[in-house]
Amino acid sequence: MKFGISGNVNGTSTNSTMSYVVTSSSGGVYDGNFNLTTGQTGQSEAVSFVVDANNDSVISVTISGYTFYGSEATSTFDSLMSLFGLQEYYEGNISVWTDSAYFHSTGTQTMTYGTTSFPVTTYEANSLPFTLDQCGVSATITAYSLEVGTPPGTSLQFITYIHFAGTTNGENEDITFQLLSMTVG
């Protein structure tokens, strides 16, 4: 999978892409790679990892020829997964971000991300700006668009695009997060 994120939070801008590939798996142990490219520098960093899903642990992370183990490997892996945390956060709160009191569907169409196509539903705000105060989130929203779909072979409601502008818990934000490509296999 490859994601892109751009925008700013409290005046700090970001423009990055990140890809994540599982290269092999055996008995719950997964080997894979991250590739993170930051727009500010254009610099790309390749990172390989080994994760044991059986006991939810990071075995190792290798960056620029240096291999980390233990807590260093875990914290490095977790920081790289933070971009995917956006997906997890919004997916976990999908009922908030599609609540008919605030949002409405503008339709469903089949979208293609790399080699994978699936139906995606778009949600827009009923009116702008508005204030949302649910699930520990207090936000004044000035721009909003969300796209959600279910990739083939899964039951996952997957965020393929979100644009959000406004103020959340006192922080000014204008963020776009989108799925750039996906291979289901």
Q: What is the DSSP string of 124-176?
A: EESSSSEEEEETTEEEEEEEEEEEEE--TT----EEEEEEEEEEETTEEEEEE
Query: pLDDT tens, 74-122?
Result: 888 877 766 555 555 565 677 777 889 889 999 999 999 888 899 999 9
pTM of the model: 0.69
Task: Write down the pLDDT at residue 59.
Answer: 93
Average pLDDT over residues 17-39: 79
Query: pLDDT tens, 151-168?
Result: 888 777 788 888 889 988
Task: Write down the pLDDT at residue 52.
Answer: 87
**pLDDT, greater one: 184 or 16:** 16
**H or E stretch including 73?**
helix 70-92
Mean pLDDT of the residues in the chain: 82
Average pLDDT over residues 40-46: 71
**H or E stretch including 72?**
helix 70-92
- Beta carbons of 84 and 3 less than 8 angstroms apart: yes
The pLDDT of residue 33 is above 90: no
Query: Mind spelling out the 3-state secondary structure of 74-114?
Result: HHHHHHHHHHHHHHHHHHHCHHHHCCCCCEEEEEEEEEEEE
**pLDDT, greater one: 39 or 157:** 157
Question: Which DSSP state fits 52?
Answer: E
Average pLDDT over residues 134-156: 83
What six digits make up the tokens of 42? 């254009």
Task: Write down the pLDDT at residue 57.
Answer: 86
